[in-house]
Each structure stands twice: as structure tokens, then as C-alpha cells.
Amino acid sequence: MIQLVNVSKTYPGAPAPSLNGVNLRVERGEFVFIVGPSGAGKSSLMKMLYREELPSSGKVMIDGKDISRLRDKDVPYLRRGLGVIFQDFKLLQERTVFDNVAFALECTEVPRREILRRVPASLELVGLRHKAHSTANQLSGGEQQRVSVARALVRNPVLIIADEPTGNLDPDNSWAIMKLLSDINKMGATVVVATHAKEIVNEMRKRVVAIEKGKVVRDEERGTYGYEY
Amino acid sequence: MSIRAWVNALRDAIRSITHSTLMSVASTASVAVSLLVLAVMLLLALNLEYMAASVESQVEVRAYICAPYADEPVCKKQEPTAEQKQVLVNQIAALPGVAKATYVSKEQALNELKKLYPEDSAIMEGYEGAENPLFDSVLIQVKDATQIKPVAEAVQPMKGIRKVNWGQDWVDKLTTVTHAVRLTGIGLVLLLVVATVLTISNTIRLAVFARRREIAIMKLVGATDWYIRRPFMLEGIILGLVGSGVALGGVAFGYAKVEAYVRTAVFPIIPAQELMPGLTVSLLLLGTALGAIGSIVSVRKFLKV
């Protein structure tokens, strides 16, 4: 599903590379935690996956295609196959829950009938169908993140990329979101989660890839968080 | 592209226009002023050319015959005899390029004057007979406008000709003015076009800025650049269209007034119904283009994610 080959990234003006010769392989249907101290390069790695950033060198393969060599105008079509979830939810605050989820379909010109069928199903999955007509800013943080998960899910993506999805949430809501991601994984999607949620990582016992100073320093099946913070 | 996507984009565009009323009005006004100046310059240049052409086509050469009271040295204070005058007329008529040469006596000339200014005919009574200060002349009609100069130059040195009058200085002056109008017009319009594009792009930039979160999300969920650009393009185009509509209204109104006024002054002027269709189409197209260009300029930056 994902294959990083010798990926390095140096931001202009930065003293050290954010990523330094990273090799990583994630198979279809895997669930992977990316852990590591702040500034270790987790976010850079995640951004490579949905081509927000381009590697300075190396290859980022998704489904066998090197997306770092994708033309700009083909990037939207790559992203339509991905579900991306952020720490800050990235919702349209003054729009309704329904609109926020529908938005992902509307702006890729999915027919209206299809939208009316798929959005409620997706909201059902995250347990927010009853809130469809509330605006995003009326919801709690946990609920907002569930909306953003619903938005990621609504297109049945093969790959979910979550960059610190629980960073702004309390433990209960964090658990709820992680369970949700785990459920989605069981339904067949490949899920990559960058996180600092030590307890959850330790409890869930999934594959853990640790990154420090731009390098993969540990890669364990059924791993643990391994840091004190 | 579905109709729905267009409807959505149009709704977004209108929402944005009404949301930032002041900037929208400024952009519209800017388009209107630029296009108005453009149109006025264009109409002025076209009409001057039209005037020059019609003056040129009407130009007749008039050769005045010497009289004892003429100041020109060539006349030597003498007047040709009636026979000599007839010979002169025949000579002129025989020149190449001359269609017709008619002798006009100074009495006829005075009568024409009376007819032209009936209210002053009483004053002109005083100049009848020996008091007539006018000159006998030969009215020369040329075969076409290009013959005016050669004919005039051929007639000038003939014996007994006081001087030759023709419209060339008029035509020259008109051409100079037309040139100047065209140059200042082009300069002014270019400046205003740049200013308009900047104003529109600023308005759109604000609209884009207000929706930057939305745009970022659109990019993340895989909206194409064209999808994102569309509402802003539409907004620019609407502003441009409304602006050009205002300019058109102004021009149509103003031109009708000028036409009515100038008509009575016997000036040649291009009738409105000949000008308006072309002007309407070009102003609307220009307004649309200005709007579209203005919005493309400002959206381009924000699309780089």
C-alpha cells in the first residue's frame, strides 16, 4: 500500500533534515502508529503521504505509484482516494455536520442523490446521525473529530491518514476516535496514525513505528509507545 | 461538469459579492469608469475619422479670381475681362481630375450668403452692386478626394487667380486631432485597464482570503483547481459584467444627448444605431475579460498548497 524508499526532506533554511533516509513499508489493511518526540519528523512523514509536501529525495509510493512524481493537476485525484484527519479537525465551523461531510463529495462533483445516500450512512458509522443539522461549532471537540472522521470515510478511502487525531481531545474522546479508526481498519482500510497518545498505543498493541531525528529507530508488530511523554 | 456545480459556484459568487458590498461596488465602479473612458475615447476617435472622411469627400476647390481691390500681389490690382474669365474656367475644366468647373459671380456669391444667413440679409443689402466686397470664383469639383491637392496646385499659378481655397488644412487638423485622441485614449485606457484588473483582483483576493480555510479543505479532499477557482472567476465576471453594463448605459445616454445636440449643428456624426450593437458586444466582452483576468491573478497564489 505504502512504500517509502530512502525518503529525505530538508526544509529550506532548516539546520537538519526533518526526514533522513526513511524506509517504510505498510501493507494493505495494516494499522500503524507512528510515534516519536515532537519535531522528530512525524508530521513531515504524514504530509508526504497525501502529497502536501514533496520529498527532497527518495520515493513515496502509494499503490505502486510514485506520488512524488505526480503532476500537480493529478494531485486531486490521488487525494480522493485518501481520508485525512487532523488534530484541529479542519471543519467549516458555521456549516452543519451534514454539509461538512457532504462538502467532501460536493467539491469532487459526486451526484446529489449519491451524497444524500452516503452522508447519513457515514454519520451513522461515527454515531452522529442525530446531529446532522447542528452546526460544527455547536459540537464538542470529540464530536467534531467524529465529523471529520465521517468526512474522511464518506468516500470509502483505501487509506486513512490521521495526524495526531486525538491531540486536542480528552482521554474518553481519544479512545472513542481510536476505536473508530480501528473499526474502519477492520472494515478493510489501511490506517496510519501519528500520535502522542501513550496509553492508547500501549493498550491497542498495533504495529508501532518510532521516528527520531528524521530516522526510523524502531518498528515493532504489536508494539508499545516506548516514550515517557 | 455538472449543472449543480455551476449553480453552487454561482451561489457562492453572489454570496461573496453581497458579503463585501463596498469592495464589490468599488470594483464595479472601477470597471464602469475604465470602460466609459474607453468608450468615450473610441467614439471620439471614430467620429473624428468619420468627420474627416466626410469633410474630405465634400471638399471642393474654390479658385478666386482677381479683382482691383484684391491685396494679393499676383493680381496687380487688375481684374480679368469676362472673356479671360471664361478662358480660365475652360482651362480649369480641362485639367485632369476635374469633374466640373462652375463660374460663380460675386453677385451669386452674395445671394448664396443671404440665403445661408437670412437674418443678416438686411445688412448684406448694403453690399449690393459696386460695394460688393466678394470675389468672382470658379467652383471646382474633383473626381475624387485624392485629386484635390494636384488640382489645387495646378490652378494656383494660373494668371488671374487670386488664391485657391480647399479643405486640406481642415482635414489635416482633423487628422492631427484624431491622432492625438487615439494616442491619449490608448494610454488612458491601458492605465485604467491595469487599475481595474488590480481593483478586481483585490476584491477577489479578499473573497479568497475569507474562504481560505474552505479552500484548504477543498484541496485536501481532492477538489480540482478549476472547481475551487470557479466561484471566484464567476464573481470577477459578474463584477466585470455589471461594470460594463453601467458603462454601456452611460455611453448610450450620453451619446444620444450629444447626437441630438450635434445634429442641429449640422455636424456629421455617426448615428447611434450604427455604433451601439458593436459597442455593446465589445464592452460586455471586455468587462467579462477584465473580471476573469482580475480573479485569475488573485486566486493563482492561493491554489499553491
Give per-residue pLDDT as tens, B198-219. 888 888 888 888 888 888 888 8
Q: What was the pLDDT predicted at B298?
A: 84
Cα distance between residue A115 and residue A106, in whole Å: 8
CB distance B216–A103 less than 8 Å? Answer: no
Q: What was the pLDDT predicted at B1?
A: 55
pLDDT tier at B57, thresholds 50, 70, 90: low
B96-110 mean pLDDT: 87
Q: What was the pLDDT predicted at B304?
A: 64
Torsion from C-alpha of B127, B133, B139, B144, nearest 10 degrees: -120
pLDDT tier at B58, thresholds 50, 70, 90: low
Q: What was the pLDDT predicted at B266?
A: 61
Residue-wise pLDDT for A140-170, tens only, equals: 999 999 999 999 999 889 999 999 999 989 9
Show residues of chain B in contact with A102, CB under 8 Å: none
Residue A83 has what DSSP assignment? E
Kindly report the pTM of this predicted structure: 0.68
A113-139 mean pLDDT: 93
Instruction: Tell me the nearest-neighbour CA distance from A221 into chain B, angstroms.
Output: 30
Kind plus residue range of the DSSP H or E element containing B25: helix B21-58
Average pLDDT, chain B: 84
A34-57 mean pLDDT: 91
Compare B148 and A93 and report the one with higher pLDDT: A93
Q: Does A99 touch chain B (CB under 8 A)?
A: no
Residue B305: pLDDT over 60: no
% of chain B exceeding 70 in pLDDT? 95
B226-234 mean pLDDT: 88
Compare all CA atoms of chain A with the CA of B222 and give the residue at the minimum distance: A76
| Backbone phi and psi for residue B150, each to the nearest 5 degrees, phi listed first | -60, -40
DSSP helix/strand/coil, B169: helix
Q: What was the pLDDT predicted at B50?
A: 81
Q: ipTM higher than 0.90?
A: no
CB distance B221–A104 less than 8 Å? Answer: yes
